[in-house]
Structure 1
Amino acid sequence: MPPAGRAVVITGASSGLGEACAHHLSRVGFHVFAGIRRPEDGKRLREVATGRLTPLVIDVTDEESVEAAVQEVTESVGKAGLWGLVNNAGIAVTAPLECVPSELMRRQLDTNVTGQLLVVQNFLPLIRAGGGRIVNITSGLGNIAIPYLGVYASAQFAKEALSDALRRELAPQRIPVTVVQPGAVLTPLWDKMSDAGNRVLLSVPESVQALYRDTFPRFMEANETSARNSGTTPDDVARIVFRALVAQRPRTRHSVGRDATGSRVLARLLPDRAIDRILGGIVTSAR
């Protein structure tokens, strides 16, 4: 399916995976509406982008913002509609579940799950008009929930379920829904995760901090090292998103990176207790 002349919306394009996808798709010929939260991010994107990239201010947790973004895209594409919607916007909360405040859990789910559904609901008429498709970017943590990433994994499991149900509901309308599951990829998200996780741990009573003071920082360091050494890049993810957008018959799911593929295999083949033993070292004190 040739990309030339086709319009695609990508949420969460200010940095990381979303930014890489926006630039790649615009280079190969799509007209990309790159979703950003701050106008200044749009100026930066334009400085290095082709003429086929249009910054689109959109906050996926704000209904008025989403509706305004849909109106802007509608005025631009007209009756041609939308070829693709790439749901990438998200945050990543990392902390022991005992320490996570309820408002942070709500923010995680509101951004990565409820906000994604809000975007889908509002853009679906344009997708129908354009005979288009949906690509939801999740994570390898949508397969296996790792200690200290339980909040983030909860959102990814939920987004996986949302994607499966959406694919089946939209099948009679011939609107494909594809999930892209990246493994560990080093992006600016990691610095945000580390800083936020440390703040969460410091916010709980000293007696609770003591339970995780050894294992949680060690996990965060190992997690970042894994991302640095994974060999998977944002451009790798962008190429898979492109494939999902141009395939005659899109696959239901792509894994990107050996760790993402491995987590899918482990989740399918091993019993829970075996996976528990594999992950047990994360929460065991080194002392």
Structure 2
Amino acid sequence: MSRGRPRGPRGGSVPPHGAVLVTGASSGLGRECALELEHRGFQVLAGVRREEDGEKLLAESHHERLRYAVIDITDDASVRASAELVAHRYGGLRGLVNNAGICLPGPLECIDGEQFRRQLDVNVVGHLSMIRAHLPLLRRSHGRIVNVTSGLGSAAVPFLGAYSAAQFAKEALSDALRRELAPTGVRVSVVAPGAILTPIWTKVSQAGERALADAPPAVADLYRSALQGFLEGNAQQAMASRTTPEDFARTVLRALTDARPRARYWAGADARRMARTARLLPDSLLDRTFRAITAQVGAPAGTDARP
């Protein structure tokens, strides 16, 4: 895999050295991010779900600067253990990349309270737990926090309401942290990737089917055709995307090394376009842009969309 030199950020950059912790590094964007940061010179601790995920990641490492730890960001004991491990192994922390996350798709009517709490627990509460546990180390090094959201942190898309709610919350969390921590020298940035082809899209489609299976039959039938069309369209968009996991990883690198890190970075034209559209369009026009997604609500399964 080619790892070319990233474009130099305006205002210069700081050398990529010290320890960085990347959560959600088992696969996809987190995996690519961990490997890229190691390649650039960081000591990387990759947070993974299982030992076997970590061993696979180690096999792809070429610089002996990458280690892994099994971290469950929703478990307080696991989070505390990761902070103790970082302090013991590295003595400090240059950056924390909060990338771990899940996506629970489906109409909000089909997502029960337990599922919704799970979405927020992983994508929001767990990351705040990681930040709180590692802040003493980050303050000591005037380090950086990079919170990974998505284009859906700017606009709530139908059938991704729970995920959008979590991304909006993470954006707000990042804004508050950036302002609260600025006097201490800890910088906070958001990286928002657009559609990128990774294994997550298969998981999203499967989770959408489960949401329908768990809903009352009459409710599931109401949304089935529209949701299936939406999930298929999402997968096609990811396959057609020109943004790569490498693009995402290089964007995270910039957030960690820009001399003057931005509040927000976008990885992919679609993520930037979504943010601009949400900012400029009135709600009525934004609603209209999403109307095609919901046009089949109430239609029998297999019916073609008629926006």
**TM-score when scaled to structure 1?**
0.97
* Structure 2 CA distance for aligned equivalents of residues 37 and 222 of structure 1: 29
1:205 is displaced (CA, Å) by 2.0
Aligned to 2:242: 231
Which residues in structure 2 correspond to 1:1-287 (within 5 Å)? 1-4=14-17, 6-49=18-61, 50-78=63-91, 81-285=92-296, 286=305
1:37 is displaced (CA, Å) by 1.6
1:78-137 superposed Cα distances (whole Å, 9 cap, x missing partner) = 2xx111000001000100110001111011000000000000000001111122111110
* Structure 1 CA distance for aligned equivalents of residues 148 and 283 of structure 2: 25
Partner of 1:85: helix, strand, or coil?
strand
RMSD: 0.9
Gaps of 5+ in 1: none
* Structure 2 CA distance for aligned equivalents of residues 176 and 131 of structure 1: 8
1:61-86 superposed Cα distances (whole Å, 9 cap, x missing partner) = 000001111111111112xx111000
User: Partner letter of residue 75 of structure 1?
Assistant: H
Partner of 2:69: helix, strand, or coil?
strand
User: Partner letter of residue 138 of structure 1?
Assistant: T
User: Partner letter of residue 148 of structure 1?
Assistant: F
1:118-158 superposed Cα distances (whole Å, 9 cap, x missing partner) = 00000001111122111110000000000000000000000
Contact preservation (8 Å) 2:142, 2:184: no
User: Partner letter of residue 245 of structure 1?
Assistant: L
* Structure 2 CA distance for aligned equivalents of residues 151 and 68 of structure 1: 29
- Count of aligned pairs between the two proteins: 284
* Structure 1 CA distance for aligned equivalents of residues 279 and 60 of structure 2: 42
Partner of 2:218: helix, strand, or coil?
helix
Partner of 2:290: helix, strand, or coil?
helix
Gaps of 5+ in 2: 1-13, 297-304
1:208 is displaced (CA, Å) by 1.0
Partner of 1:214: helix, strand, or coil?
helix
User: Partner letter of residue 36 of structure 2?
Assistant: H
User: Partner letter of residue 83 of structure 1?
Assistant: R
User: Partner letter of residue 43 of structure 1?
Assistant: E
* Structure 1 CA distance for aligned equivalents of residues 112 and 82 of structure 2: 31
Contact preservation (8 Å) 2:158, 2:293: yes
Partner of 1:254: helix, strand, or coil?
strand
